[in-house]
Amino acid sequence: MRGAQLSLKVIKTCYYYNLAAYKTALNNTFVNRYGLFVRDPTKVLFRTMKSLVNSINDAVTETLFGLSYTFPQLEYQVAHKVVLMPMLQDRKHKVSLICGGGSGHEPFAAGFVGKGMLTASVSGSIYAAPPSQHITYAIERISTYDKSGILMIVPNYTGDCLNFGIAIEKARQAGLNIVEVIVNEDCSIPKEEQGVAGKRGLTGILFIIKIAGALAENGQRLDKVQQVAQDVLQNIATYAVGLSACSIPGQPTMFELAEDEVEIGMGIHGEAGYGKMKMKSSSEIVSFMLKRICDALSLQSEDSVAVIVNNFGALSQLEQGIVVHDVVNQLRSMNIQPLRVYSGLLMTSLNSAGVHITLLKIDEKNKNMYLSCLDAPTDAPKWPGCVYSVPMENTVFQDSILRITKRRGIEIDTQLQVLFEQCLKGACEALIQKEIHLNELDRGCGDGDTGSTLKRLAIEILLSLGRLQFSHPSSVFTELANIAEDQMGGTSGALYCLYFTCIATELVPVQESDGWLRIWARTLRSGFNCLMKYGKAKPGDRSMIDALHAVCETLENMLTKSLPEICEAVKTATWQACESTKNMKPSVGRASYVKQTQYLQNVDAGAFAVAICVDVITDVVKNFKF
């Protein structure tokens, strides 16, 4: 926030002194721009990130309105940026919990207001502590109806400690029963290197809020709630790794991070972390993080923990699930039992990508109490736990699908089996080689993953060559259909599975006396018709159908020609059909939703994949020694 205000002052100064300015504006229109200020010969250039905001000055107020519109039973006091539990006047003889801090960490803290967690939250400006008078307002509102006491849960940042401290002291002067817990569970900075401020408060604060909130809801006295909160604090540790820096709306990112690096020990206010290390796999990064956390908590074999995996804000849900997978499996491999696992966007850092891992060490003495509090119901809308968070016994994980493909249909001689295998092997190797180009063709008008998807199919087929029953082509295509469905998934997996399945069905009743050219012409036509029937695409729609149509038409028209002539004609026609997709308007698949012509100037990726395979297969057949 302070940086944004400074940037605006720079803009105003440039205008005041009549300096040249390019693509700049004041207040809300300043965001999402490139700023360039020139005072010859010095140039200052910065790039701001895209943000969906109206005015930076109204961002916190509006996002809290968004929360209150979504959960309208929460009471939102706009002037103080305070969110309160509903029906405070009915809350009697129960300790209340207040927490808060700067904004930019949503849904923390307002998203955790509700029965069983916070009674009130107080929000400051972006990355700035809330003013003490706003905190005092929350205290006064709560104490109006109940004098059972208030536990203030304060993240350990200087601004938060000062402003909450002022409000706490004023409340004590007024005779209120109020105590605090300063949360500082970050374990990324070695003790000997810590400054006066000490350790930061991170996502471990949620364990304190949940457990203390459950005790308060059960009517425990303030001293008991505070004592348990302190005990929880002594048994939690958090470590963070960031993949990208964040940016306040209208500003560039707060620090530079190379593409091949991650920030270790990163905080939640956009500041750089303890250090950097090279980008590694999820498993390796999780191992690094767990080592630090386990050392901080002195975790040993046969210990038990609860886990929070927090998303900084911009990490995909796919990646977050992988991190959770790695955390749980690695803990189990150390014989440390994760009794509860929570995951989600809980305490974010604007648009930064990264994760916090928090562990709560659960000893036998406190096990029942901690788990009971964690499992206790809460109305807080953003707590990630639910009834499904409690594990059940005898959960079964099936690692693989076992299929047995029977031999069926026509049987071919050894020579044709060799030819069949060579064709299949050559096509797969060609698809693997063209992975990057296929992805590029698919980018902009699709998922950008055609090459990667076909590579998975090709690799699995190559690994399966030794067990495919080449003596029975129908059985081979049945197995290819299974592989396509398992490895490719989605629409492409369904299309290839359907195509191979139809070919397998067509090959069952054939007789060798029909002649192999006519058998393949009839079989490929059957597969083609099946794709058009269920996939809805037809020639001219800019898809793999265009290339397959050329194969079928050419083969059927060339049956009386020599095998080399047929092979060359089929290859040429397929590439011509592929090239013609450049000029077609897509009518099927995701490309049909794309209306920007710059993404539709290359050939269709699906048609190109068919052409690659046909090119290789026709060369293998033409050069095979019968």
The set of catalytic residues is 269
Q: Cis bond leading into 252, ω under 30°?
A: no
SS3 (DSSP) at 594: coil
Those residues with Cβ within 8 angstroms of residue 518's Cβ, 6 or more apart along the chain or in another chain: 559
Sign for the CA dihedral angle at 213, 218, 222, 223 comes to negative
CB 260 within 8 A of CB 276: no
Strand bridging mode 42-47 / 337-344: unpaired
Tokens representing residue 252 in the block: 């560039």
How is residue 244 written in tokens?
């990208």
Nearest by Cα to 205 from 152, 135, 166, 258? 152
- How many Cβ atoms from other residues are within 10 Å of residue 52's Cβ? 7
Grouping H, G, I as helix, E, B as strand and the rest as coil, residue 247 is coil
Whether 277 and 267 have beta carbons less than 8 Å apart is answered as: no
Residue 101 token pair: 């801090």
- Give the C-alpha separation, 11 to 460, whole Å: 58
Q: How far apart are CA 460 and CA 458, in angstroms?
A: 6
Residues in contact with 594: Cβ distance below 8 Å, sequence separation at least 6, in sequence order: 444, 445, 586, 600
Q: Kindly calculate the radius of gyration of the chain based on its CA atoms and give it in whole angstroms.
A: 32
Helices 563-580 and 544-557: crossing angle in degrees, nearest 10, is 150
At 96, list the tokens. Answer: 């209340």
Q: Please give the structure tokens belonging to residue 413.
A: 């001689």
Phi and psi for 406 in degrees, rounded to 5?
A: -80, 155
CB 91, CB 85: distance < 8 Å: yes
C-alpha separations of 80 from 69, 425, 567, 608 in Å: 17, 69, 78, 61
End-to-end CA distance of the chain: give it in Å, rounded.
77
- Report the alpha-carbon angle 42-43-47, nearest 5: 160
Cα angle 467-469-471, degrees, rounded to a multiple of 5: 145
Provide the 3-class DSSP secondary structure of residue 430: helix
From the list 347, 358, 338, 340, the residue with the least C-alpha distance to 237 is 358
| DSSP type of residue 145 | T
Three-state DSSP at 237 gives strand
Q: Please report, as a single letter, which amino acid is at residue 587.
A: S
For residue 494, give every residue at least 6 positions away whose Cβ sits within 8 Å of its Cβ, in sequence order, or none. 485
Burial of 576 (0-12, 13-18, 19+ CB in 10 A): middle
